[in-house]
Every structure is written in C-alpha cells, then in structure tokens.
Structure 1
Amino acid sequence: MSAELVKGTLERAKPYAAVILLQLGFSITPIVTKSSLNQGMSQHVLVVYRHAVAAVFIAPFAMIFEWKGRPNMTTSVFLKIMLLALLEPVIDQNLYYTGMKYTTATFAAAMMNVIPAFAFLMAWSLRLEKVDLRSIRSQAKIIGTLVTVGGAMLMTLVKGPVIGLPWTKATENSSQLASGIAGEDPVKGGLMIVAGCSCWASFIILQAITLKSYPAKLSLTVLICLMGSLQGTIVALAMDRLNQAAWSLKPDVKLGAVLYNGIVSSGVAYYIQGIVMPIKGPVFVTAFSPLSMVVVAILGSFTLHEIMYLGRVIGALVIVVGLYLVLWGKSKDEPPETLPVEQVKGQVSQKCDVVDA
C-alpha cells in the first residue's frame, strides 16, 4: 500500500474518529451531571459555570491559532451568535438538565437520539433539505422521523416490567426499586428533554449556517460559550435568586461536573462539530449518538444504580431504528457542498492536530 493511499485513508477516517470520540465524551456527561443533580446542584447554575469554564478553556487556543485569520464581526454574525447561545447553552441545557432530574441519565441519553429527526424536519421547513415524496430516500427520512418520534413517546409513556440486572438487583431489593421510582415523572421530564432536543437541532443547523460567514471555529466556540454563560446567568438569578448557596462550589462531584461539562461537552464538543460539519454536514455529527446511549445505559446501571424497564429499552431501540432510516435516506442524497479537496485536507489536519494537543 502506497504512502499516499495510507495518508488519504487516514484523512478520510479523521471525521469518523472525531465524531466517535465526541460521542464517547458525551456518554460521560449524563453520568456526572445526574450525580451532581442528585447532590443538590442547581441545573441553572451548572449551565452558567459550564459555559464560563468552556470559554476560558478554549480562549487561549483561539488567540494563538486564529489571531490573524479571524474574520470581522458583523451585526448579522453577532445576532446569530446571540441566538446560538440562547438556543443551546441556555434553553436546551436548562430544559435537558431539568428533565433529567425527573428521569434518569439513561432515559435522557436515549431521548437525545430524536435530534437528527428534528434537524431533518427543520431543514425541510427552511428548504435546506430537498424532499421528493416519490423517491425512496425521502420516504425513508419521513418514515424514520415518525418512527423516531413514536419511539420517544413509547419511552415516555410506557415503563413496562423491570429488567433485573445482577449488579443492580432491581427485582430483589424492593427498597431500591422504590427509591428508583420516587421523584420520577417521565412525562414531564420527557417533554422537557424533547423540547430541549428541538433547540439543540436548531442550534446545529444555525451553527452550520454561521460557519459559512464566520469560519473561525475556535473563536465562534468561545463567543457562543461566553454569551451562553451571560444569558444563563440571567436565568439562574431569576430561578435561584433566594438560594445563594447554589453558587458555591467545593472539590466534589459538583465541581467535577462543571469542569467536565465545560471542557469536554461544550468547549471541545462545539469545536469538533465545527470541524466536521463543513466536511460531512450537520446530520453526520448526530449519526453516532446511539453509541453514547449504550455507554450511558451501562455506566448508569453500575454507578447510579438506575433501574431499567423493558418499555423504555424497546422505545430506545425504536428511536435508533427511526434514526437510521433518516440517516439512510440522507446518505442517498447528494453530498453537501464542501471546500476544495486540498483546502479541506489542510484544514482538517491542522484542526485535528489542535484537538489532539
């Protein structure tokens, strides 16, 4: 095998490796987040601290690598950044964390698989996605969207019998079973998570649009996180104005959740998405989300002693089937417009080297 062929294969594999690593990073997020919420962490304060940490972490890289190549800030780009910060760091994460308080980490991770279906519907409504009802690929995307939504409803409304796992002893320990059910409201929590997912899907589409006029990915990440932290502060002050203790942090699981979510789930995640989307498109970024769901289910049952129910497992599988119907239909479309090959290769190599560092 020639050196050029090996090099080309590695270049093509980089987006896949980046997205897989992204999903593995996401799989830890619900675990540390649920642990911190169980310890009394305010979800609104967590949103503020998370994005403040992300902005501080990414800012030095933006100053070093994009000092000269950063495009001028325009009113249009600034308004898009403000909307991006409102959609994902503020609305989505406040709803997602609140919904997680009423459910489990595994439930929340599984519901995130509805995002590609929502992204397809929004892209269709904005005429960013071409749909021909006579073509099989368009029919697959529409059916997949309906199946995905149906799976989300199944997870929310149908619990089913308990799946007894040896390490949780869910069927043998009645007190643990009661504690797993107490405080849960899957309908309320599910609706909040679904609403948050719709904001996340909107964020992904708007991020892809914004990158065309402001391609400085590191700087864009910093600005989104900074604006998200400022806007989130207003929400947190309104929701937790009588609880000053909610803002205090100690070296415990709460601080760990802030640091991990800020550095990995916001800072690195937004940046990797910005690298991959111009090459593979926004739907590709969400294609590997079931990987995160499986890891969360395993870790959640071990670390949080979460009880698994047959109805929710079936609902999660239905969501995955719908997801891949959407992705199969999307794969049959024409590839999105990309940069010239040589420019893409140079950009990917440079950006992925920054992430590796």
Structure 2
Amino acid sequence: MGIMGCCSDFLQRVKPYVAMISLQFGYAGMNIISKVSLNHGMSHYVLVVYRHAFATLSIAPFALILERKVRPKITFSIFVQIFVLGLLGPVIDQNFYYAGLKFTSPTFSCAMSNILPAMTFVMAVLCRMEKVDLKKIRCQAKVVGTVVTVAGAMLMTLYKGPIMEMVWTKHVHPHRSSAPETTDSSDKDWLKGSMFLIVATLAWAALFVLQAVTLKQYSAQLSLTTLICFMGTLQAIAVTLVMEHKPSAWSIGWDMNLLAAAYAGIVTSSIAYYVQGLVIQSRGPVFASAFSPLMMIIVAIMGSFILAENIYLGGVLGAVLIVVGLYSVLWGKYKEHKENKKSKVMSLPLTLKNSEGNGEGMDIKDEDEKGKKANSMNLSTSDDRSTIKVRFPIPEIPMKVEAPNA
C-alpha cells in the first residue's frame, strides 16, 4: 500500500508538467504543419475558417452536455463582447499570424509569440487591471522584463545577421551552404512578416484582457470558447469572401491542408484550451506561462530537420532577450501572487468567538485587557504578544435550609 500511495502521489505531482510539455509539442506541431500547408499554396484566410469550424464542432458537444445547468443567459452586452472576442482571436490574430508565418519561419513566429505576456501586462496597466508601484522590486521586474522583451522582439525584427550552423544541420543538410544569398525582396518579406506577427500578438493580448472581463459575467468557459470559435468562423467566412475571389481556394481534400486545419482546430483551439484551463486552475497562470519558451526550442529543432530552415544570429540573440524578459515578468507576477496570499492571511481577524445557548465562549485578547472581574473562572496562558483566556461560567449552587427536628 505504501508503494502504491507513493506512485499515486508522484503521478499527481507530475501531471501538470506532463500536460504543459505535451501542449508545447502540440503547438510546435501546429506551426510546422501550418507552415508546410501555407508553402503548398493554401490561403491563410481559408485555413482560419476551417480551423475554427473544426474547433467549434469538436468542443460544442462538451459544452452542451457538461455546462447545460450552469450556462448563464446571453445579454446584449455579453453578445457584443463575444463578437469582439471572435474578431480579435480567430479573425485578426490568426490571419495576421499565418501571414507572418508565411513570410518568416516557424521558429521566428514562436519567438515573437513569447512577447505576449509583456504586451498583456502593458494593456492590463492601461486598463487599470494591473497596479504598478515602482518602489517594489516585483513591479520593477515586471517593467524591466517588459522592456527587455520588446527589445528582443525589435532585434529579431530589424536584424537577421549571419546564419548559425548547428551541430545537427551539418549532417542533415550538408549542401545548404551553396544556397543563394538572401535578396532584398526576401528581407522586405521578413520585415513585413515581423510586422504581421506583432499585430497578431497585440490582438491576442487584447483578447486575454477582454476575456478576463467577459468571464466575470459569463463564467461557463467551455460555452464561451464554443461561442468565440463559432462567431470567429462566421466572421472569418465574411473576410475570406472579400479577400479570396477564387472558388478554387476553398477546395480541400485528403491532403496536408485538411490535416493542418483539423490539427490546428482540434489540438490547439479546443483540447489546448481545456487542458491549459485545468493547469491554470490547479497551479496558476505563472506556472502555465513558464513553459511557452519550450515551444520555440522544439520548433527550432524540428524546423531545421523537417523544413531545413535557417537559424540567424539576430533570431538567437532576440530569442534570448525575449526569454529573459519573459521570466522577469513571470517572476514579478509570482512574487505579487505570494504577497497577495500573505496579505490575505495577515488580515484574518484576531478575535474568534463561538457563542452557544449555554453561555460558553472563547475570547482571544491582547495583554492590555487584564484585570476585568466577573463571576467566572479564568484560565490564561500568555507570551510576549497575546493572552488567551477561556471563561467558564460558575453555576449557582442552591442553598437548602432544613428545619430543625422538633
């Protein structure tokens, strides 16, 4: 029984770690598969439509069954917020992200996505959802981390540098050095793709801020995710009809395009939301966000093997700055969370009273409250700070008067 208990306790402790590492592999696979699909000519507008259609169909049954009794009513205000959330996430964020992915690389796109916590922090401060006191170290860490993260993103955007030769790339792609030099047009595409990724990250950060407000009024998370994906699908269809005039762009078969849409919709838009929500609920958002740089490392290795993509010095230096700034922000948030928990514990009342009908009670008082005389017996134990007094009422003993014998 002891061995089984230890194994069960160990599995419970490693579950959050296994879940978050598995999610990072899922996100990395989405970037690689989507990049291959976009390189084969699939429109990113159509990919967004199919992705969120798959996401809606996969998560809607769970929302209908599991939240049928706790689902709040949709008011006009909540409908407007869901409409904006669908516009920010599925439409703006995903379209700009896929456009940036098409012009850059999966490794670069993942690295740029790591500035999301910093952008979310800035928007939360502007919306007065986050307080900043520069006299405290944790607030200084959040501000400095935000600046360093943005600096890393700008370095990756404006500077490429020489190609970095990795150990495994020399054996996998020995003839890559004979490739033609980067042209001016590719540099322009790289800059344009970087701008697209920054806009996508801004939209995703705004979605987080607005979603935090919406969840206070509409607490059914599965239902809210379903509605966002469904609304985003309708809006993405409207955008695609405007931007894509060829009917052939909608054609999809049993190929990489279908795999990219289904994988991105089911794995990274439905399962990921649910698993990440469970981990955040048990271990907090700081724990969940700390694993995001792992995706960049996985994509860099997979991209160099599968896509033979180049890794530049500017990307490596910028990625290092982004990771350092990210963990500085997360450290500040972690310290803030600990201080909030400590302040809640310290604010507990110092007087506990448990009164019943029989008149018994227990009072916790300071040393200064001494000398009170009452018809009771006091048992006290004191130290340098406080005195604990337990009062027991003394019952009255009736007097019997017996008449003398005659």
- Per the normalisation by structure 2, the TM-score is 0.76
| One-letter identity of the residue aligned with 2:202 | S
Quick one: distance in 2 between partners of 1:168 and 1:132?
51
Return the offset for 1:60: 1.5
Return the offset for 1:171: 5.2
Return the offset for 1:7: 6.6
Quick one: distance in 2 between partners of 1:119 and 1:280?
20
Q: Which of the numbers 169, 184, 200 marks the counterpart of 2:174?
A: 169
The 5 Å alignment of 1:82-231 reads 82-164=83-165, 165-166=169-170, 167-169=172-174, 172-175=177-180, 182=186, 185-231=189-235
Distance 1:251 1:171, change over 3 A: closer
Match of 1:344 in 2: none
Match of 2:324 in 1: 321
Report if aligned partners of 1:208, 1:274 keep a CA contact under 8 Å in 2: no
How many percent identity over aligned positions? 51
Comparing both structures, which one devotes a greater share of its residues to strand?
Answer: 2
Quick one: distance in 2 between partners of 1:9 and 1:87?
40
SS in 2 for 1:223: helix
Return the offset for 1:159: 0.9
Return the offset for 1:46: 0.6
Report if aligned partners of 1:115, 1:286 keep a CA contact under 8 Å in 2: no
Deviation per CA, 1:250-294, whole angstroms, max 9, x where unpaired? 111111100000101111223334444455555554321101001
Q: Does 1:257 align with 2:273?
A: no
Distance 1:74 1:254, change over 3 A: same
Quick one: distance in 2 between partners of 1:211 and 1:284?
21
Match of 2:237 in 1: 233
Quick one: distance in 1 between partners of 2:279 and 2:217?
16
Distance 1:83 1:3, change over 3 A: farther
Q: Which of the numbers 271, 274, 281 marks the counterpart of 1:268?
A: 271
Quick one: distance in 2 between partners of 1:2 and 1:138?
45
Match of 1:61 in 2: 62
Of 147-156 and 181-190, the range deviating more from structure 2: 181-190
Q: Tell me which of the two structures has the higher relative contact order, counting C-alpha pairs closer than 8 angstroms and 6 or more residues apart.
A: 1
CA RMSD of aligned residues (A): 2.5
| One-letter identity of the residue aligned with 1:23 | Q
Q: How many residues align?
A: 335
Match of 1:290 in 2: 293
SS in 2 for 1:185: helix
SS in 2 for 1:72: coil
| One-letter identity of the residue aligned with 1:216 | A
Distance 1:143 1:178, change over 3 A: closer
Return the offset for 1:311: 1.5
Deviation per CA, 1:156-185, whole angstroms, max 9, x where unpaired? 11111111231233652325x669x85862
Quick one: distance in 1 between partners of 2:102 and 2:51?
17
Distance 1:46 1:292, change over 3 A: same
Q: Does 1:245 align with 2:248?
A: yes
Deviation per CA, 1:49-102, whole angstroms, max 9, x where unpaired? 100010001111122222222222222322221111111111001111111111
Deviation per CA, 1:194-228, whole angstroms, max 9, x where unpaired? 11101111212322332233222221121111001
Quick one: distance in 2 between partners of 1:89 and 1:271?
17
Distance 1:192 1:45, change over 3 A: same
* CA radius of gyration, larger in: 2
SS in 2 for 1:70: coil
Quick one: distance in 1 between partners of 2:311 and 2:55?
33
Quick one: distance in 1 between partners of 2:198 and 2:63?
33
Q: Which of the numbers 312, 323, 329 marks the counterpart of 1:309?
A: 312
Return the offset for 1:4: 8.4
- Per the normalisation by structure 1, the TM-score is 0.86
Report if aligned partners of 1:157, 1:186 keep a CA contact under 8 Å in 2: no
